[in-house]
Amino acid sequence: MKRVAEGDMVRLGDLDLAKIKVWGLFNERYLEVDLNLAERTTILTAPNGYGKTTVLQMIRSLVEGDDHTLLGIPFKEFQLVFYDGASLVARPKATQVRGVEETELEVQALFPPSVLEGLSQRAVESLFGESDVDSDDNAPQRLEQAQQWAARALRENTELTDLGDGRWLDPETGRIMGTGEALRSCGLVLAGLLLGDPVRFLRQRAQSVLYIPDDRLKLRGNGGRGATLEGGRPDATSVVRVVNDLIVGKVSNAIQEYARVSNEVDREFAPGLLPLLSALEAAPLTDEERDELKRRETEVADTEARFERLGLIRATSREPWATRVQDRPSFLVLQRHLEDMQRKLDVLKDVAERLELLQRVVNESFLSKSASFNPESGVTVRSNQGVEIELEKLSSGEQHLLVLFGQMLFCDDVRLVLIDEPEMSLHLAWQERFLEYLSEAQRLAGFTAILATHSPSIVWNRWDLTVELAEATRVVDEV
């Protein structure tokens, strides 16, 4: 299993899932799926009834804490394993409540010693904040309390063996540690547990799951991002309209940030320019400096034109100034101006790339139609004759495509996307290009995807990404 470098441990939310294990699925099967970490896309295929959709629902439910859905699925144990070895484990557990037998979900977090040791640098910071331990009068009491708590946490949430008398055995290396040493070796994990609980700590590592069901055009009530999209109007009459509202909201946020940065940059222009002019050298401009200034001016002008077409900034008239610059003071002023312009435009770069991909998906897929974007009304689709088509009146397949990529590109901080039957209502030619578009969306938004499909056209020529559940499953007598 791939080991995470110590420097990567700080950004726990970015860590990927590596493996899915289910014991007793449908009361008879053991399922183990290794996810494709290199490509960040795994495609689950299988005949009907093998549990493709069920696995996606189980992942979402465990990460989001939806015990009700998980308890409605027959299984004995479910485990999500991160690629550093930490894991979330869920088991149905029968209990007696006032003489009535009920089933509740028991969820446990496990941390292998290798993970704990990798976090040693954060131990003192996590337990004592910014203070110097040696000069903190309360440090001994706090350390004793933390050590007592750590003993219980280590027993319940790690693979260390409790030898008694404050000694702990690492079965992986044979190393024996005292409680204090074990505490120092896993400070961040214990701090995370102290802030909440071990299960919550690991759930936050896999947070921001976007579950897109097969009936994704159906409006739903409350219950998870996969059910109710954030950002839509309460009176929205269709999912495609909710997704459009989501896009408008994200673009509006980017434009507001652009305005804030613009004001900040404008205020800094004169104060930043004066030191340059005061240290001015009398040397004449070189051809290389002139060429570089022209290149940067062209780059800024092209970016402005691109963002204008997307409706992100207002159209303005431009006159090229670089060719007119003859002296060094003018050169410095224009150079600073172009640097400031680029700094402003960089704020919009991410949302612009996402909008351009969404437009590309629509314009390369929809028949005799094209899409544009307006910051106030969102996505606008027109026929080749220029007639605007309401989003709700697009075909089922067209709405599916907009909903799929609108969510993947514009939902906040999505780390894991689960898509059930992406082929739903899509023409075969669209299915064959789906992974190409998905890969571009992943490059922009940085998420991992798990798909469940029956369609060889979705897989197309990427059978290396597939996991056949029939081969990853075995029927067992006892689980």
Average pLDDT, the chain: 81
pLDDT given for residue 141 in this prediction: 57
Strand order through the sheet with 388-389 = 369-374, 378-383, 388-389
Count CB atoms within 10 A of the CB of residue 53.
16
Q: Distance between CA atoms of 286 and 378, rounded to whole angstroms? A: 47
Residue 405 tokens, joined:
């990529």
* pLDDT recorded at residue 86: 79
pLDDT of residue 476: 67
pLDDT tens, 200-245?
Answer: 666 765 557 899 999 999 987 543 444 345 444 555 679 999 999 9
Neighbours of 323 (CB within 10 A): 10
| Mean pLDDT within 293-303 | 92
The dihedral through the CA atoms of 355, 361, 364, 365 has a sign that is negative
Taking the CB of residue 384, how many other CB atoms lie within 10 A of it?
9
Q: What percent of the chain clears pLDDT 90, i.e. is strictly above it?
A: 49
Query: Tell me, what DSSP letter sits at residue 43?
Result: E
The yes-or-no verdict on residue 157 having pLDDT over 70 is no
List the structure tokens of 122. Answer: 């954060």
- Looking at residue 399, what is its pLDDT? 97
- Residue 32 has a pLDDT of 94
pLDDT band for 270, please (50, 70, 90 cuts): confident
How many CB atoms neighbour CB 166 within 10 A?
14
101: left (phi over 0), alpha (psi -120 to 50) or beta: beta
Q: How far apart are CA 479 and CA 476, in angstroms?
A: 7
Q: Which two tokens stand for residue 399?
A: 């709405």
CB atoms within 10 A of CB 423: 22
Q: What residues have CB less than 8 Å from 138, skipping those under 6 apart? A: none
Structure confidence at residue 474 (pLDDT): 81
* Rounded Cα distance, 384 and 395, in Å: 16
User: Each residue of 332-350: pLDDT tens digit?
Assistant: 888 888 999 999 999 999 9
> Tens digits of per-residue pLDDT, 411-438?
988 889 999 999 999 999 999 999 999 9
Q: Are strands 41-45 and 448-452 parallel, antiparallel or unpaired?
A: parallel
Residue 68 is predicted with a pLDDT of 92
- Is the pTM higher than 0.95? The answer reads no
Kind of pairing between the strands at 388-389 and 176-178: unpaired
For 432, how many CA atoms within 13 A lie in the half-sphere containing its CB? 5
Closest CA to 63 of 85, 44, 84, 78: 78
CA distance linking residue 141 with residue 360, whole number of Å: 61
Two structure tokens written together for 178: 């005292």
At residue 117, does pLDDT exceed 50? no
SS3 205: helix
Report pLDDT digits (tens) over 169-199. Answer: 888 778 888 766 665 555 445 544 443 456 7
Strand 416-420 to strand 448-452: parallel, antiparallel, or no bridges (unpaired)?
parallel
Phi and psi of 81, rounded to 5°?
-110, 125
The CA–CA distances, whole Å, from 418 to 218, 447, 449, 453 equal 17, 10, 6, 11
Q: How many CB atoms within 10 Å of residue 79? A: 18
360 band by pLDDT with thresholds 50, 70 and 90: very high
For 450, the token pair is 């798990």
Per-residue pLDDT band at 477 (split at 50, 70, 90): low
Q: What is the pLDDT of residue 235?
A: 57
Contact 106, 71 (CB under 8 A): no
Give the containing element (helix H, strand E) for 115.
helix 113-117
